Every structure is written in structure tokens, then in C-alpha cells.
């Protein structure tokens, strides 16, 4: 009976979301109604859900999210991200489509100091797009490079999606961080190969740079040196600290945030800049925290009602092949990606899909990275496509339409799915570093 009720609540949850009810409110309402339908008295249902929310907030791993968001925002607003882009640009000057490749390279490194793709999309929309437009790059191609490469922030650690996945599945955050590195580099390589091929076979998309090399001024060199070394220091503190076992992910986030604040001071950020950065970080973090609390309530409903075992039995009892079940999961993720944001997709599906995948014999780390990649693709799919809307709102060009950004992002969407299935077929990409370093 409990499994049936969980299934009914899942259906109600989908209906509420389609009606426009906030995902967090929908999760809380369905959790409470499910408890009542299972026979729990009103007071007991309230008590169970309130204690679940309280226990969720008490977990120190929750502190990782606001700290990493703050760290990324400080790096963006201090100007260090612009320094990083200029360094990548000069280093890749001889490659076809160098500005687009510099955007990919910049996003790859920037992803290692922030866990939010939106920050990368907003930063490089203002930094890289004007440069590509000035050099005569095709507008759709340039917009696609900015939006598509921003997805790297959701895979290369520290990633908010990896943290949320770890919280829901009770996996090690550090292990998931390590698991995301090689697939993240693989995805960056696929993006780069696409840009080079596009620039070689269709030169009009990315005109070659023919002007003589202009040496940076002493002030520019100083700024880039500070920004570049500061970002390198952050990577060493956060990723290096976790790799070496010197820091837990929570401690690494704290030290990373402090290091970012010091870099912000060195780069000349004022008190008002820091106030605005704190405000923006809070605006980004608060909805995620609320969703995680209500998702904990929903997970408690699944546990009490035996919902995971019930739905797993439905899948396995249908005698579908493992490949068919995985493809169904991909289809669900892609459809949800058209409607809701990535964190909400994880909250809705991972408590159900992750145990099913383990039952099919899929490595948990490989499945986590596979799932993040597929969900990541949803960041570029219409009509929601949050990264597309972020780029649209950030580029200083009224002619940059949503249609152009979606069209330019399509190759990156396809490459993300290619990378996802490569990880599923070669789980070593996700499991090797955690096995060596954790």
C-alpha cells in the first residue's frame, strides 16, 4: 500500500510542477499528504517532517554550497575571471577559433573555483562574447561557445550538482569531486575539437587573427599575474586539499572562500563590492537550501513507504533490458530539463534512479557522472535552458536572441550526451582518480 501511495504522490508532484507550483512547495505538500495517506496522525506527520528538515540543516556538508557559491562570485566580480580569459587567449593564439577555445579553457579553469555554471555564463558573456564579436566571429557560433562551455562548471569540482547528488545518495563528496575531473577534461577536449573543426572547415564562423601581436602593458601583466596566481592558489587549496586528504570538502570550501576574499581585496574590491557579492551568493544559495530541505522530506516519504523498492520492482519486473532502462532515465531527464532546473531534476529523480542503476550493476560513481552530464545537457534545452537565459540577460547585445543562443548551443548539447555515454561505457574515467586518491 505504501508503494502505491508513493506512486500517487509522485504523480501529484508532477502535476503540481506542471501547474507552476514551486518545486520546493510541491515536494513539501506531497510529503505531508503522503504521510497522512499512509495512516500517520497529523501531529506525527508534522513531527517526522520537521525533524527531517532539522536533521538536514544540521549536516555540515550543507555549508559547502554557500561557501563555494561565494568563492565563485568573488572570483567573478574581482576581475580574476577576465585575467584568466586573457591569459588563455594569448596562450592559444595560434589555434583556429582561438577566442572560442580560450572561452572553453577559461571555463575549464574557472569551473575549478566555482560550483555554479550560471556564474561562468554571466562572466564570460561579458568577457568573451564582445571580443569574439569585435573580431568578426559568427554571432550564433560565439553565443553557443559561451553558453555551451559554461556547462563545465556543473561537472568539474567543486560542483553544486555533485554536492547535491552526494547529499541525496549519501556518497562521499570528495569521491564525487575526484570522479568529475577526467570526464570534465574529456568534455572540454570534445568542445575544443568541435571548435577547431568548425573553424577549419567553415572559416567564416571564426576568422583568423591577422593583426600583429600586441604586448600587454605593465599594468595588464600585473593584473593578470595576480588574477592567475590567485586562481591557481584557489585550485591548490580546494582541489589539492581534498586530494591530499588535508581538508574535508567542507573545510576546503571554508579555506577556499577565505582565499577568494583575500584575492578580492588584493584585486581592489571595495566594501560595497563585497556586500553585493554576499547578497548575490545568498540569493543563489537560499533556493537551493530550501529545495534540499524539502527533498529530505520527500526522501523520508520514499523510505517510509518503500517507494524506491516498489518503483525498482516495477522497472525490473517489466523485464526491460538494462540499456532500455538507462535510456528511459535519459529520456525522463531530458524532458524534465525542458521544464525545471538541474537541482530540481536531481531532487526528483536521483533517490529513485540511483538505487535502480546500482541494481543493474552500474558503478555508482560512473552513474553519478553520467547523470550529471545528461542533466547538464538540460541547461541548454528549450524552453527552460537556464544557461541560455543567463547568456541572453548578460550579453551587452540586443541582437543576441534566444533562438540564436539555443541554435549555437546545439552542438555542445550533443557533445555532452556523447561524453555521458562514453563515461557509462568506460566507467574507469569516473572511478580511477577516486580509487587512487581517496
pLDDT of residue 281: 79
A 10 A CB-CB count for 325 gives 19
What's the pLDDT tens digit per position in 321-349?
888 889 989 988 888 777 677 777 888 88
pLDDT for position 61: 65
For the chain, residues with pLDDT lower than 50 are: 1
Residue whose C-alpha cell reads 506525527 in the numeric block? 44
User: CA distances (Å), 309 to each of 33, 49, 297, 316, 317, in order?
Assistant: 20, 21, 18, 10, 11
Q: Cell digits for 238?
A: 580546494
pLDDT recorded at residue 76: 74
pLDDT at 107: 79
Sign of CA dihedral 394, 115, 404, 383: negative
Structural domain span for residue 304: 2-437
- 257 CB contacts (<8 Å, ≥6 apart)? 67, 68, 70, 71, 74
User: Which single residue is written with the C-alpha cell 600587454?
Assistant: 216
**Cell output for 209:** 587573427
Residues 6+ apart with CB under 8 A from 133: 139, 142, 397
State the total domains in the chain: 1
Q: What's residue 91's pLDDT?
A: 73
- pTM to 2 decimals? 0.80
- Alpha-carbon span 400 to 273, nearest angstrom: 28
Distance CA 426, CA 438 (A): 20
What per-residue confidence (pLDDT) applies to 387? Answer: 78
3-class secondary structure, 5: helix
Q: How far is CA 177 from CA 112, 124, 234, in A?
A: 10, 24, 15
pLDDT at 214: 63
Residue in the structure block whose three cell numbers are 586539499: 241
Q: Are 125 and 82 in contact (CB under 8 A)?
A: no
Q: State the pLDDT at residue 431.
A: 93
Mean pLDDT of the chain, nearest integer? 81
Amino acid at each position: 500500500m505504501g508503494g502505491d501511495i508513493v506512486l500517487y504522490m509522485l504523480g501529484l508532484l508532477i502535476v503540481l510542477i506542471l501547474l507552476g507550483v514551486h518545486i520546493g512547495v510541491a515536494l513539501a505538500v506531497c510529503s505531508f499528504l503522503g504521510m497522512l495517506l499512509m495512516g500517520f496522525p497529523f501531529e506525527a506527520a508534522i513531527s517526522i517532517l520537521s525533524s527531517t528538515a532539522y536533521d538536514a540543516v544540521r549536516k555540515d556538508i550543507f555549508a559547502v554550497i554557500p561557501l563555494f557559491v561565494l568563492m565563485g562570485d568573488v572570483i567573478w566580480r574581482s576581475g580574476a575571471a577576465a585575467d584568466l580569459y586573457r591569459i588563455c587567449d594569448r596562450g592559444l593564439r595560434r589555434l583556429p577559433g582561438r577566442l572560442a577555445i580560450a572561452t572553453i579553457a577559461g571555463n575549464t579553469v574557472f569551473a575549478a573555483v566555482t560550483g555554479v555554471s550560471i556564474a561562468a555564463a554571466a562572466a564570460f558573456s561579458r568577457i568573451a562574447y564582445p571580443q569574439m564579436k569585435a573580431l568578426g566571429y559568427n554571432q550564433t557560433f560565439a553565443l553557443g561557445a559561451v553558453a555551451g562551455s559554461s556547462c563545465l562548471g556543473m561537472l568539474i569540482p567543486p560542483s553544486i550538482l555533485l554536492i547535491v547528488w552526494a547529499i541525496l545518495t549519501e556518497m562521499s563528496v570528495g569521491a564525487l569531486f575526484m570522479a568529475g575531473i577526467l570526464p570534465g577534461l574529456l568534455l572540454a577536449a570534445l568542445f575544443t575539437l568541435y571548435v577547431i573543426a568548425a573553424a577549419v572547415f567553415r572559416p567564416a564562423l571564426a576568422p583568423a587573427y591577422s593583426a600583429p601581436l600586441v604586448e600587454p602593458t605593465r599594468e595588464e601583466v600585473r593584473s593578470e599575474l595576480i588574477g592567475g596566481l590567485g586562481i591557481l592558489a584557489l585550485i591548490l587549496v580546494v582541489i589539492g586539499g581534498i586530494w591530499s586528504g588535508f581538508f574535508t570538502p567542507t573545510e576546503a570550501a571554508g579555506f577556499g572562500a577565505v582565499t577568494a576574499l583575500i584575492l578580492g581585496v588584493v584585486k581592489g574590491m571595495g566594501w560595497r563590492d563585497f556586500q553585493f557579492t554576499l547578497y548575490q551568493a545568498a540569493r543563489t544559495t537560499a533556493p537551493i537550501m530550501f529545495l534540499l530541505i524539502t527533498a529530505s522530506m520527500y526522501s523520508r516519504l520514499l523510505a517510509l513507504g518503500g517507494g524506491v523498492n516498489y518503483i525498482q520492482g516495477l522497472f525490473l519486473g517489466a523485464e526491460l533490458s538494462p540499456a532500455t532502462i538507462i535510456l528511459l532515465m535519459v529520456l525522463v531527464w531530458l524532458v524534465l530539463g525542458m521544464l525545471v532546473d538541474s537541482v530540481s531534476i536531481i531532487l526528483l529523480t536521483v533517490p529513485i534512479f540511483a538505487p535502480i542503476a546500482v541494481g543493474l550493476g552500474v558503478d555508482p560513481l560512473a552513474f553519478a557522472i553520467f547523470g550529471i552530464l545528461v542533466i547538464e545537457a538540460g541547461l541548454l534545452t528549450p524552453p527552460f535552458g537556464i544557461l541560455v537565459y543567463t547568456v541572453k540577460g548578460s550579453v551587452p547585445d540586443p541582437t543576441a536572441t534566444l533562438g540564436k543562443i539555443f541554435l549555437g548551443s546545439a552542438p555542445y548539447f550533443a557533445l555532452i550526451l556523447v561524453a555521458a555515454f562514453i563515461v557509462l561505457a568506460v566507467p574507469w574515467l569516473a572511478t580511477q582518480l577516486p580509487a587512487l586518491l581517496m
